[in-house]
Structure 1
Amino acid sequence: MNNAAVVSAAFTSLLVVLPLLELVSLAIVPWITDQRECFGVSVPPAAHGDQRVRRYKTLFSLMVTAFGMVCVAVSLLLALAYGRAAGFWALIASVAALPIVGFALQQAFRRKIMAIKASSRWIVVDERRAALLAEQDTPKPISLAWNLLHLVPVGITIAVGYASYAAMPARIAIHENAAGAIDGWAGKSHGLLWLAPGVQILLAVVFVVVHAVIVASKRPIDPDKPAETAYAYGLFTRVWSMYLVSCGMILISVLGLTLQAAVIGAVRLDAVGAVALVAAVAAVAGAVVLAVFYGQNGSKVFGRDTSSQSGSSDDDRFWKLGVFYVNRNDHAAIVPKRFGVGWTLNFGRPVIWLAILVFVLVVIMVPVLAMRQ
């Protein structure tokens, strides 16, 4: 099978696999969330045994799945009828539309859960805190120092580039459009050798930042089961931090070396796209597996307990729309999500808004400075 056939097969697979993985990761959210929450509402664990709640969770999953399948079918039909470019843009639209539809459904079912909570008079204690004494026995995220391993593939990529510079062609393809045609070229230069390491360093920074978020996150400990929930959350953060480092090493190595091989003329540029698609699918699939196995905050570690009729705390007033955390009195800048797997920001902290401002400025200025060169 030639390069063009490989890329075509990878693209067709992407049209199916990536939206499917996204819809699966969204459809399972109500089933892997912390048992003290449901659609972003504070509830007692017993709420998850309520038939009405289970029906809403099932409806959410079915509706997300149905919409996702329609997106997959439309993307494939457009690709077959109008070519790769049409399928590509349909895929982009589908990937963007799924979370929007998921958010709309979450809001609809959140209102239903709040109504059930009020009518059923579920007891959720307002303010309770717990202190964990045997903290040394609780699992923790692996050290940020592990991210220094990312320097190894970066160094190898730089070495490969300079060792192959003499054999580089005089004209290098540097850009490919949505239809798969090369539309950007550059002359041979030492500067091109730093394109792949630059991408690797950017990816490494992203993985380090996400790892730091895990390390700095607030621990959600249940006062009724402090040791159990602390251990489960600790294991949850440890596994995810290990996954980030290992996944980062693989992605940075494979993508960086493939891109460098394209720069020095060893492989076609479209091979980079094929490798990137496969790597992205593999990374998302791994994340979905971890989410299913451990649940949000490690809620799956010890299994579900739907016997408790009261919850540990009711902070619904701090969760706007059930997903945005705004609490000026909470010193934690990073907290676990209520709907989904992972972490979110405390928008009540000024430092968060400062960080967002800096990020927006960087995103705006980098392309502007690049265009001036």
Structure 2
Amino acid sequence: MASMMLMMMLLLPVTGVLMAVTPFLQRRGEVFAVTVPSSAQRDPYLRSLKRRYALIMGAVTAVLTAAGVAAALAMNEAAIMVVLLVGTLGLLLGGYALMLRYRAKTKAYKREQGWEAQVQETVAVVGEADAPRAIALSWNLLYVPVILVTVAIAVVGYPHMPDMIPMHASFDGTVNRWEPKGPMVVAFPVLMQLFLAACMVFSHWTILKSKKWAEPGAPATSALAYGLFARAQSVFLLVSGLLLTGGLGILFELSSMELVSLGQAAFFVMLLAMPIVVGSLVIGVVYGQAGSRVFKRMQGSDALLADDDEHWKFGIFYVNPDDLAFVLPERFGVGWTFNYARPVTWVIVVGGFLVTVAFIVAVSVLV
């Protein structure tokens, strides 16, 4: 199963490359989570900071990827897990720490240049109803037939399943955990599907509820770009969710019926995950955060038309009690985040954490 190990190692370079290119994907008026004039994207000093960030993250990614590939070729399962977990966590935390360092440099440079917003300009986009937007939430009804097919396979195949169901296999495909045949064991993949589908539907809902991005210097064009970005992300989220829920559920049921081995099922799930992982990188590079790369020739402004740096704590946490929106585009990254000054945000965060813990506990007890 060396091929499956090597596929798992692809998570490292994809994560690292996404982190490395993140500064180049942000909106025109933001550099390392600092508000600057949109024309400052061409500033030599700021561009040099971005290049340095990318080079450092790229070098770290190359080293970690080489270590992961070596562990995979050596078939060392323990080393693979260490490199994968520690490496991915190191890239995320290290990338964030490096961002904070360059954020401080950018803030100091901003003060030196005297970039200050004399007024806080806001925009309202006329004709927003005609602008592209995320696909409707009703598209998530497609999860229903996927789950029903899994249930049908489980019902039809239950009499033909062995008394002991394989539940876990090592990287070489050797099954090392079984559970007695029973309704809950067979229903386990359906429960996983329901949980994953719920997470995907919630993510889709947050896109629809998000505060729309419109740049004061180019309101109509940036609103159109954001709409295209939101639509692409919502379609990608739906397709990814259907692939994962369908693949996990159906393949697990087929392995329980011994039509495929558990190792083969895991291999096919990894195959399904690869286009999802790579696709997230491609969408980020093509569209940029909030559609910032859709129209690269949007007119830039030398003036700072709006500045909300004070509301972004540590560059990524938005805290603004005067903003009624509780979901908005991220400041550093590709996607969306919450307004942590809104009570509903904490209801969602705490509620989601409790539901996740309850699901894990329930599955571990029932299965």
- TM-score band by shorter chain is over 0.9
* Partner of residue 281 from structure 1, selected from 251, 274, 287: 274
Q: What corresponds to 2:326 in structure 1? A: 333
Q: What corresponds to 2:177 in structure 1? A: 184
* Partner of residue 316 from structure 1, selected from 301, 309, 314: 309
Q: TM-score with structure 2 length normalisation? A: 0.94
Root-mean-square deviation over aligned CA pairs:
1.8
Distance 2:239 2:364 in 1: 35
Extract unaligned runs of 5+ from structure 1: 1-6
Distance 1:82 1:147 in 2: 40
Q: What corresponds to 1:8 in structure 2? A: 2
Distance 2:217 2:38 in 1: 12
TM-superposed deviation, 1:159? 0.8
1:11 counterpart letter in structure 2: M
TM-superposed deviation, 1:35? 0.3
Aligned in 2, Cα 1:94/1:207: closer, same or farther, shift over 3 Å? same
TM-superposed deviation, 1:369? 4.4
Of 325-334 and 224-233, more deviation after overlay is shown by: 224-233
The 5 Å alignment of 1:238-317 reads 238-305=231-298, 307-317=300-310
* Partner of residue 99 from structure 2, selected from 101, 106, 124: 106
Distance 1:175 1:86 in 2: 19
2:253 counterpart letter in structure 1: Q
Aligned in 2, Cα 1:125/1:214: closer, same or farther, shift over 3 Å? farther
Aligned in 2, Cα 1:348/1:217: closer, same or farther, shift over 3 Å? same
Distance 1:41 1:103 in 2: 14
The SS at the match of 1:340 is: coil
The SS at the match of 1:212 is: helix
The 5 Å alignment of 1:45-56 reads 45-56=38-49
The SS at the match of 1:164 is: helix
| Cα displacement string for residues 27-54 of structure 1 (whole angstroms, at most 9, x for unaligned residues) | 1111110001010000111111011111
TM-superposed deviation, 1:273? 2.0
Aligned in 2, Cα 1:310/1:70: closer, same or farther, shift over 3 Å? same
Distance 1:125 1:31 in 2: 27
Aligned 8 A contact 2:327 2:336 in 1? yes
1:62 and 2:55 are equivalent in the alignment = yes
TM-superposed deviation, 1:257? 1.2
TM-superposed deviation, 1:304? 4.3
* Partner of residue 197 from structure 1, selected from 190, 194, 216: 190
The SS at the match of 1:311 is: coil
Aligned 8 A contact 1:34 1:295 in 2? yes
Aligned 8 A contact 1:141 1:239 in 2? yes
The 5 Å alignment of 1:105-254 reads 105-177=98-170, 181-254=174-247
Distance 1:249 1:89 in 2: 30
Aligned 8 A contact 2:116 2:307 in 1? no
Aligned 8 A contact 2:166 2:177 in 1? yes
2:198 counterpart letter in structure 1: V
TM-superposed deviation, 1:178? 6.2
TM-superposed deviation, 1:182? 2.4
* Partner of residue 353 from structure 1, selected from 346, 359, 364: 346
TM-superposed deviation, 1:126? 4.2
TM-superposed deviation, 1:322? 1.2
TM-superposed deviation, 1:25? 0.9
| Cα displacement string for residues 210-259 of structure 1 (whole angstroms, at most 9, x for unaligned residues) | 10110000012122322111111111111111111122222222222111
Q: TM-score with structure 1 length normalisation? A: 0.93
TM-superposed deviation, 1:125? 4.6
Distance 2:75 2:276 in 1: 29
TM-superposed deviation, 1:82? 7.1
TM-superposed deviation, 1:128? 1.5
The SS at the match of 2:28 is: coil
Aligned 8 A contact 2:5 2:171 in 1? no
Q: What corresponds to 1:43 in structure 2? A: 36
| Cα displacement string for residues 99-146 of structure 1 (whole angstroms, at most 9, x for unaligned residues) | 101001100110111111111112435412112221122111110000
Aligned in 2, Cα 1:362/1:178: closer, same or farther, shift over 3 Å? farther
2:183 counterpart letter in structure 1: H
Distance 2:270 2:118 in 1: 47
TM-superposed deviation, 1:359? 2.4
Distance 1:362 1:132 in 2: 38
Aligned in 2, Cα 1:180/1:267: closer, same or farther, shift over 3 Å? closer
2:2 counterpart letter in structure 1: S
Aligned 8 A contact 1:334 1:346 in 2? yes
TM-superposed deviation, 1:56? 0.5
Of 252-261 and 77-86, more deviation after overlay is shown by: 77-86
Distance 2:93 2:119 in 1: 31
Of 51-60 and 248-257, more deviation after overlay is shown by: 248-257
TM-superposed deviation, 1:67? 0.7
